[in-house]
Amino acid sequence: MAAASPSSSTNPSFFKVATLKGHEDSVTCVDWTETAPALILSGSQDKTVKVWDIRDKKANIQTYDFGKSGSITSIKMKSDTIFVATSDCKVHKMDMRMTDQSQMSHQYVDEISCMRIGKKDNDGSDILIIGDDSGRVTQMNTNSNTILSEQIVHKNAIVCDMSVDAESEWGWSVGTDITLMQWQLCAKCVQANSDENEKKQQNTSNASNKKNAKHSTKKKDRKLLKQHSITEMLEKYGENNSSNSASINPPYGYSMDGLRINNSSNSNDGNHSDSSNHLLSLALGNGDVILKCFNSNYQHNACTVVNAYHSAVCSIKFARFREDMFVSIGTNKEITMWGWKIEEKEKTKEIKVKPVIKSQCNNKVNDMITTNISGAKIILADVSNDVALLNW
């Protein structure tokens, strides 16, 4: 897929298609998947997860009550399976085909902030990627519910959001440590097994061998992580070489999204050294938006910073309904659709961004997703207990 420059529309604008009512407290998260395009999930502080039929725009076809576990912090859907994170630090696995089922759950140490579906494991099962408030990223086999690996990615910080390229070995995360971390998926799974074998060897080794083995493990772990300073991105690529001076908030990474693109038709000169790019969008607490591009070897090759709001950017998503656009929302309730384009300039790339639509939401938004269906292209979870469906 390749991005083209946004076409000009006559007075483009957002309009609300429907409001889904039924939750009794603030809606914290929403999700949708192409494998079940007619369904929307919503999780709430009222300790329930609701399944909605988007074709009806009113029907709540299923409610899961997690009253004993607590409020819903994150949800993820894959086909007929729902993964639910609750405030008691548990992940629950539900099968929507079963009307009467026991809730399978896994206990974690810290509260879970976000979840993503990653690559498939050796047995063909999807791997669930879990980020928590201690800065840890956990990989779990969704069939056996076994932990494949655990790694502290953001030290002394919360994992605020993640993006996983399921077609590659890489994942990314942002946190309250003001860093973008890049980590390998399958390599860490291999490393987890290697670490286990190494621990067994250490039990039969002398103190010197233990020290050397421990040093070797740390060295291997460092190779699995790549750190990208958000502060340095703002200083190098920001407007006037500075971050948003109108904001008093630090540039924490509040939200992020990723998109795999084919750069063959983005080039102006016809020379294409890379077969594909991976584009990341970052929503920051200081009101800035960052677009950062990686080449087919997952090395940095372009970046841009946009001063989007005079408030924190609480959510950002690439538009599934149109690849050359992304949507962001600020805590000031302003929603913006942006057009983007990667331009080739000799041996370098530049990312161009411009606003296409700006509008105002009625309420503050906790979460947002985009879809490629005509009934509701943008779905918002807001503090008013409702789920809003938008088109444009």
Give pLDDT tens digits for 80-134: 889 999 999 999 988 888 765 556 678 888 899 999 998 888 888 888 999 999 9
pTM to 2 decimal places: 0.83
Length of the chain equals: 392
Mean pLDDT of the chain: 81
pLDDT at position 70 over 50: yes
- Cβ contacts of residue 364 below 8 Å, gap of 6+? 314, 331, 333, 382, 383
Q: Cα–Cα distance between 267 and 137 in angstroms, integer?
A: 36
Question: Three-state DSSP class for 3?
Answer: coil
Instruction: Please tell me the predicted confidence (pLDDT) of residue 351.
Output: 93
pLDDT-based confidence at 153, cuts 50/70/90? Answer: very high
- Tens of pLDDT, residue by residue over 234-252, are 999 987 544 454 456 899 9
Angle (nearest 5°) at CA 50 between 57 and 103? 150
> In this predicted model, what pLDDT tens digit does every residue of 189-236 receive, in sequence order?
444 444 444 444 444 444 444 444 443 333 334 346 789 999 999 999
Give yes or no for a contact between 8 and 21, defined as CB atoms under 8 angstroms apart.
Answer: no
Task: Decide if 116 contacts 183 (C-beta within 8 A).
Answer: no
Confidence of residue 1 (pLDDT cuts 50, 70, 90): very low
b or e along 154-166 (b: 16 or more beta carbons within 10 Å of the residue's beta carbon)? Answer: beebbbbbbbbbb
3-state secondary structure (DSSP) of residue 206 = coil
Number of H helices and E strands in the chain, helices first, is: 3, 28
Q: What is the mean pLDDT of residues 3-10?
A: 41
How far is Cα of residue 283 from the mean position of the Cα atoms in its chain? 11
> How far is 363 from 332, CA to CA, in rounded Å?
9
Identify the bridge partners of residue 256 per DSSP, sorted by sequence position.
Answer: 282
- Tokens representing 142 are 């969704």
Residue 248 has what pLDDT?
Answer: 66
pLDDT at residue 11, as a whole number: 57
Query: Domain locations in the chain?
Result: 226-365
Instruction: At 45, list the tokens.
Output: 């502080």
